[in-house]
Chains A and B, each alone.
Chain A
Amino acid sequence: MAVYRIAADIGGTFTDIACLSPNGMLSTYKTPSTPDDLARAVAEGICAIAARLGMDRGAFSEVLHASTVATNAILEGKGAVTALVTTEGFRDVLELRRIRVPRLYEPLYSKPAPLVPRRRRYEVSERLGPKGEVLKILDIPAMTALASMLALSKVEAVAVCFLHSYINPAHELEAAAILRRALPGRFISVSSDVLPEIREYERTSTTVVNAYIGPVVARYLRSLQERLRQSGIGGRLLMMQSSGGALDVERVIATPARIVESGPAAGVTGAAYLGVIAGYRDIITFDMGGTTAKASLIEDGRVVTTDEYEVGGGISLSSKLAKGGGYALKLPVIDVAEVGAGGGSIVWVDPGGALKVGPRSAGAVPGPACYGAGGEHATVTDANVVLGFLNQTALAGGAVAIHADAARAALSKIGATLNCDVLEAAYGVHRLANATMMRAVKAVSTYRGRDPRDFILFAFGGNGGVHAAALARELQIRRVVVPPGAGVFSAVGLLFANIEVARSVAFPRPLEDAAPGDIESRFRELEARVIAELDGGERAILRWRADLRYAGQGFELSVDVAPGISTDDDMSAIRQAFEREHMRSYGHLLDGQRIDLVTLRVIGSLPHGGADRLAAPPPEVETDAYARPVYFGAEHGLCDTPVIGRGGLRQGARKGPLVIEEYEGTTIVPPDATASLDAHNNIVIDL
């Protein structure tokens, strides 16, 4: 069957569309986002690309989508009017959080307001113990009265979280049933369903986030569906999840908390897929856009997920230490470290005389000084223009005019403060941006006991190719890969997403006391749920994982478990996998210390039916290359550097220095490096 997949990624400024034909031909399209009605740009973009390809809009088999709609609802405080029902005595758990604040030494710090204010947090009498035993039965009359009261209120969504419900959901399910009867059509979010895991604040917060964005996401996706239908666009609508993998829109509407980081996840998923196809299994992704740079790890072809995540927490260099700035969301998210260094990041000199980059950004408006739109501050992009890395007259095939003199003027001011010339100042900014971005790479590699030198750097985002080679050098990474469509890579990544469903269950007990049969049967129960939710039957590929820790530790490590657990050997395999991971992550084992199982997980996926790789485009006529001076630091000085297109590498590998200019982005190949094209149209830079 000829399967066309089409993908749309909505960003703050642009909506990116990408289409993959059955034979692997990629087409991309960029159009300004339409904030008043986000679905409009999606539909128009898809229609435009269909027209360009001369194909029937109804012929797409799947429409894949990533959007910041959920995150925006939280950042802008525009979620649903939400109520929370808790165990008596504990309605303030949500607001008290884990107490810790993300900013040290800041007496004027102001905490983010809770998503559900105290006036809409209700307590009911019920209590479970830590083994799930009932200490106090649920007060049904009180619960019923509460539900009736809520039915008369403006509440659009209700979250329910009782203590110890991760081990015994009975009271929550009773309460939810009462609420559903009294409030038909309103969104009910139950903690034992959303996140059956220990730790009441994280579970409550996750359940509340789910409720808060539920009606907003549902409204948005329904309107998108309707818009696509009206525009005659066919195909099943799938949404990217934060953990990688796409999910049917109906399932997303049921648990919208799964999609908050869909955009970044799409890029990383695409990198994993295309990386493996190109022969790389261990990859560090590097995604540099206008305001931030992000890094993540792909190990043995698989993305790495974490549940140490907060939505709306802003950018933080060490987000895993400095928690409390956002709203805890403990569902698996692709582990992405983010730093406030992008093309638009503003350059400044602090009172101690030190040069700084970001985290303030010039944004899309006014943008860097070189856009000539009124931006006065020097930015990373201005430095890249001064250095000659970026085109001196226009970017994006002429769509964005560049005023190189404005960039030079802005950087001269910085140079004057630092007592150096404009080129040195610009090169300093470039190095400093790299130093900042190195911390993102380290947060996903060395912090977890991984050596970046064992990985390739897979660069995308509007500015990824500009900085990738220099960043890789700093990290002693030997190879950089820049994929086609790097500037719209979240959309490209969506095209290769499989449908994926993950489910977990709390399973707290010492590993040595766990009967193999018990583990096996819990995994099988999870499998059955996952298969049902995938609607895919036997085509599903299932992966078992277990979270374990040494008794007494507060953090778990997640390891793969081979399906089918019946013997002591199977159990020791689990132990050994844990010990390997502990040694690798932390450099030591605790001999004789008990190992505890904490959570079992099953992840199921259905391979997509589209093309499995990108085809190289037909040979294009290479326009005559020209050269411009580019500054690669004092060591090399100003180098006369050929400027070519991606196709300019088709004849064979070329030595740096080179500038490779494309519609969506620029790739810099420094002196002493070699660039080539592989069979999948990736630029490969060997350092």
Chain B
Amino acid sequence: MDADLDPILLEVLKNGFDAIADEMALILMRTAHSPIVRDAMDYSTALCDRDGQTLAQGLTTPMHLGSFYDAMRHLIAQYQGRIAPGDVFIGNDPYAASGQHLPDIYIIKPIFHAGALCGWATTLAHHVDVGGLVPGSNSIGATEIHQEGLRLPFLKLFDGGVENETLFTIIATNVRMPDQVLGDLKAQMAACRAGEQGFQALLGRYGADKIARYGDALQDYAETLARAAFSEIPDGVYEFTDHIDGLGENPEVITLKLKLIVAGSEVTADWTGTAPQVRGGINAPLSFCKSNVYAALRSIMPLDAPNCHGFSRPIHVVAPPGTLVNALYPAPCGARGITGYRIVDCVFGALAKAVPDRVAADGTGGSTLPSFGGRNEGQNFVFSECIMGTWGATSAHDGQEGVPHMASNQANVPIETIEADYPIRIEKYGFLADTGGPGRFRGGVGLTREYRVLVDDVYFGVRSDKNLYPPHGLFGGEPGARSRNLINPGNGERSLPSLPVAPVTLRRDDVFRHEMAGGGGYGDALDRDPALVLEDLLDEKITPAHASAAYGVVIQPGADLAIDWAATERLRLELRAARMAATVP
């Protein structure tokens, strides 16, 4: 830190910036209209300096971390010299605005003080629909971005305070749920206004020069913390390969290959060898790939390190153009979230080899995203939500259950509000026994959610994964159970692939059931304390048959669950012997 900087004022201003980003996040959530923003919290807010570098980001969605910088550079380059007080910018296009995917719309407001541009209030929210092939605008089956909905380069939604009526009308006409989209855009604008006011108060108090200097110092400080954290990782090249199940009914596996190179205080994520971009909506633009690498590496930094741009300086991302992780126009990317989750999982997979006590075994692979769309009582409806989630086990405890993927700290949508607002009934929501990957510490058990549609002609789509490649364990821990998508289970049941491309139409009373994968285990299951196995039995997270098959724990016959210790010891010896035998050629 520079000697002439006051470290206390730096901390004071860091608090001030964080408070602004959090206030923006809170206002956006409280005024939003779509369940995916107001309940699932799939949005982000940030306060940026005059160059568009993030000073603070609200505590919402990790996979948006770092998503503002590339977009801000794009915007600033495009509008340099034509940015005025009262402007509000809008954009969403991955190629024309360095955006994420079309449903993620940026609303950005420049902040002026004494006539000079001093910073930006920025927001990014996942909108319920932006038109295109399917309700929800996340078609797996899209083959080019033009099919995915309304593409917005950075445009002025307000020009010097004057509303761009044309643009509002175009947006309202091109989306299936204009009330929700416009409502959420207004919520984003309210958040930007709060950010502007908060930052102007700081500028008034300390002056633009001081704020700029301390903003720069904050970036340096974050960089210092990041370098300190990375220096603790042993130098080396850590490789990891992960998979996405593939597109459609006859999927071809999609491979992600990562080489994580740790050298001193710098980390490089090299994706050379990863599959080419695909003809389906799961391609990740480079900015999204970087965001996810940042989020994963941020997880091994101190918890209270600032989420500002500076911490990403020692991180380098090598992603060959034209691959799944650096898609080029016109690759579609509506459902690219799945690739983002896998990017994070790859980084954790590689980190497990370097710092095994700092990460968990593989989890459910991110949220499953079902979408339902159609007409009800004469109106369009689109409903989509995130089903989550379970984590793999760690060196210290069982996998967590009922948690979001690390990359997307989202919430579920209350069943009662779904049923009050949409022609959908939730029939079941809960854990599935025997699905956690066995291990000394058990992977989290998977869970299921069942939907019954109450009207005819409902378009249905789903984005999921981990059917062909279930979550892996660590250090002898076994994988969790596979995920499944079922239509009308037990009643003319048929299954859907992880990423169906062909449209599915549901009729009244049809049921969709998703079973999430279970988390991977950590360590040898035969080393698990039988008392913990008994606890799992009491909670019906495993069955007696699974207890003996997977853990070698035998239960005494009778009504009360009790361990037969002698039989358990015998069975564990037998299972170990059988394992040894299996390795003898």
A105 contacts B298, C-beta separation under 8 Å: yes
Task: Answer whether residue A442 sits at the interface, using C-beta atoms and an 8 A cutoff.
Answer: yes
Task: Answer whether residue B126 sits at the interface, using C-beta atoms and an 8 A cutoff.
Answer: no
Interface 0/1 of A334-347, CB less than 8 Å to B: 00000000000000
Task: Answer whether residue B442 sits at the interface, using C-beta atoms and an 8 A cutoff.
Answer: no
Contacts of B58 in A (CB 8 A): 321
Whether A553 contacts B32 in the complex (CB less than 8 A), given A99-B389, A198-B417, comes out as yes
Task: Answer whether residue B499 sits at the interface, using C-beta atoms and an 8 A cutoff.
Answer: no
Nearest-CB distance from A598 to chain B (Å)? Answer: 11
Whether A90 contacts B34 in the complex (CB less than 8 A), given A99-B402, A104-B59, A428-B7, comes out as no
Task: Answer whether residue A101 sits at the interface, using C-beta atoms and an 8 A cutoff.
Answer: yes
A353 and B29 alpha carbons, distance in the complex (Å): 34
Nearest-CB distance from B533 to chain A (Å)? Answer: 14
Nearest-CB distance from A168 to chain B (Å)? Answer: 12
B27 contacts A353, C-beta separation under 8 Å: no
Of chain B, the residue at the smallest CB distance from A91 is B430
Of chain B, the residue at the smallest CB distance from A420 is B7
B1 contacts A353, C-beta separation under 8 Å: yes
Contacts of B416 in A (CB 8 A): 130, 163-164, 166, 198-200
A108 contacts B298, C-beta separation under 8 Å: no
Task: Answer whether residue B60 sits at the interface, using C-beta atoms and an 8 A cutoff.
Answer: yes
Task: Answer whether residue B507 sits at the interface, using C-beta atoms and an 8 A cutoff.
Answer: no
Nearest-CB distance from A182 to chain B (Å)? Answer: 21
Contacts of B198 in A (CB 8 A): 446
Task: Answer whether residue A399 sits at the interface, using C-beta atoms and an 8 A cutoff.
Answer: no
A587 contacts B190, C-beta separation under 8 Å: yes
A554 and B401 alpha carbons, distance in the complex (Å): 26
Interface-central residue, B8, B41, B410, B420, by most chain A CB under 10 Å: B8
Task: Answer whether residue B406 sits at the interface, using C-beta atoms and an 8 A cutoff.
Answer: yes
Choose, from A432-440, A536-544, A564-572, the stretch at the interface: A432-440
B180 contacts A321, C-beta separation under 8 Å: no
Interface 0/1 of A316-332, CB less than 8 Å to B: 01101110000000000
B59 contacts A92, C-beta separation under 8 Å: no
B186 contacts A590, C-beta separation under 8 Å: yes
A100 and B409 alpha carbons, distance in the complex (Å): 6
B225 contacts A554, C-beta separation under 8 Å: no
A166 and B417 alpha carbons, distance in the complex (Å): 12
Task: Answer whether residue A93 sits at the interface, using C-beta atoms and an 8 A cutoff.
Answer: yes
Q: Of A93, A99, A418, which is within 8 A of B411 by CB?
A: A99
Task: Answer whether residue A154 sits at the interface, using C-beta atoms and an 8 A cutoff.
Answer: no
A99 contacts B412, C-beta separation under 8 Å: yes
Of chain B, the residue at the smallest CB distance from A351 is B228
- Find residues 173-218 in chain A having any chain B CB closer than 8 Å to their own CB: 198-202
Q: Of B23, B35, B228, B428, which is within 8 A of A446 by CB?
A: B23
Task: Answer whether residue B3 sits at the interface, using C-beta atoms and an 8 A cutoff.
Answer: yes
Task: Answer whether residue A304 sits at the interface, using C-beta atoms and an 8 A cutoff.
Answer: no
Interface-central residue, A93, A100, A435, by most chain B CB under 10 Å: A100
B429 contacts A96, C-beta separation under 8 Å: yes
Of chain B, the residue at the smallest CB distance from A476 is B205
Task: Answer whether residue A580 sits at the interface, using C-beta atoms and an 8 A cutoff.
Answer: no
Interface 0/1 of B275-291, CB less than 8 Å to A: 00000000000000000
Q: Of A96, A110, A119, A439, which is within 8 A of B538 by CB?
A: A119
B33 contacts A553, C-beta separation under 8 Å: yes
Contacts of B403 in A (CB 8 A): 99, 101, 109, 111
Contacts of A107 in B (CB 8 A): 299-300, 348, 358-360, 391, 394, 406
Q: Of A99, A352, A588, which is within 8 A of B410 by CB?
A: A99
Task: Answer whether residue A219 sits at the interface, using C-beta atoms and an 8 A cutoff.
Answer: no
A552 contacts B180, C-beta separation under 8 Å: yes
A554 contacts B39, C-beta separation under 8 Å: yes
A321 contacts B301, C-beta separation under 8 Å: no
Task: Answer whether residue A586 sits at the interface, using C-beta atoms and an 8 A cutoff.
Answer: yes
A228 and B10 alpha carbons, distance in the complex (Å): 54
Whether A96 contacts B358 in the complex (CB less than 8 A), given A118-B431, A586-B27, A586-B31, comes out as no
Contacts of A352 in B (CB 8 A): 1, 221-222, 224-225, 228, 305
- Find residues 552-611 in chain A having any chain B CB closer than 8 Å to their own CB: 552-555, 585-588, 590, 593
Contacts of B478 in A (CB 8 A): none
Contacts of A553 in B (CB 8 A): 30-33, 38, 183
Task: Answer whether residue A355 sits at the interface, using C-beta atoms and an 8 A cutoff.
Answer: yes
Contacts of B431 in A (CB 8 A): 92, 95, 118
B540 contacts A118, C-beta separation under 8 Å: yes
B539 contacts A436, C-beta separation under 8 Å: no
Whether A588 contacts B388 in the complex (CB less than 8 A), given A110-B400, A431-B12, A442-B19, comes out as no
Whether A164 contacts B419 in the complex (CB less than 8 A), given A109-B400, A442-B19, comes out as yes
Task: Answer whether residue B546 sits at the interface, using C-beta atoms and an 8 A cutoff.
Answer: no
Task: Answer whether residue A76 sits at the interface, using C-beta atoms and an 8 A cutoff.
Answer: no
Contacts of A554 in B (CB 8 A): 29-30, 32, 35, 38-39, 417
Whether A89 contacts B429 in the complex (CB less than 8 A), given A432-B8, A553-B38, comes out as yes
Q: Of A101, A111, A318, A428, which is within 8 A of B409 by CB?
A: A101
Nearest-CB distance from A359 to chain B (Å)? Answer: 9
B302 contacts A351, C-beta separation under 8 Å: yes
Q: Of B3, B18, B225, B388, which is within 8 A of A351 by CB?
A: B225
B11 contacts A356, C-beta separation under 8 Å: yes
Q: Of A108, A129, A317, which is within 8 A of B394 by CB?
A: A108
Contacts of B25 in A (CB 8 A): 321
A597 and B417 alpha carbons, distance in the complex (Å): 15
Task: Answer whether residue B517 sits at the interface, using C-beta atoms and an 8 A cutoff.
Answer: no
Task: Answer whether residue A663 sits at the interface, using C-beta atoms and an 8 A cutoff.
Answer: no
Task: Answer whether residue B396 sits at the interface, using C-beta atoms and an 8 A cutoff.
Answer: yes
Contacts of A588 in B (CB 8 A): 31, 186, 189-190, 193
B414 contacts A199, C-beta separation under 8 Å: yes
Of chain B, the residue at the smallest CB distance from A441 is B19
Nearest-CB distance from A433 to chain B (Å)? Answer: 11
A92 and B388 alpha carbons, distance in the complex (Å): 13
Of chain B, the residue at the smallest CB distance from A103 is B303
Nearest-CB distance from B332 to chain A (Å)? Answer: 28
A110 contacts B428, C-beta separation under 8 Å: no
Contacts of A101 in B (CB 8 A): 403-404, 409
Whether A96 contacts B412 in the complex (CB less than 8 A), given A107-B360, A588-B186, comes out as yes
Q: Of B12, B18, B402, B420, which is within 8 A of A97 by CB?
A: B402
Of chain B, the residue at the smallest CB distance from A357 is B11
Nearest first, the 6 A-B pairs at minimum CB distance are: A554-B38, A92-B430, A552-B33, A96-B402, A89-B428, A118-B539
13 A-B pairs within 8 Å (CB atoms) are namely: A93-B415, A99-B412, A101-B409, A105-B295, A163-B416, A198-B420, A350-B304, A355-B7, A435-B11, A438-B15, A442-B23, A508-B420, A553-B31
19 more contacts with CB within 8 A, not counting A104-B59, A119-B540, A586-B30, are A92-B402, A92-B430, A92-B447, A96-B412, A111-B402, A129-B419, A163-B416, A350-B225, A352-B228, A352-B305, A353-B1, A354-B10, A435-B12, A442-B19, A550-B183, A552-B180, A555-B31, A586-B190, A593-B179
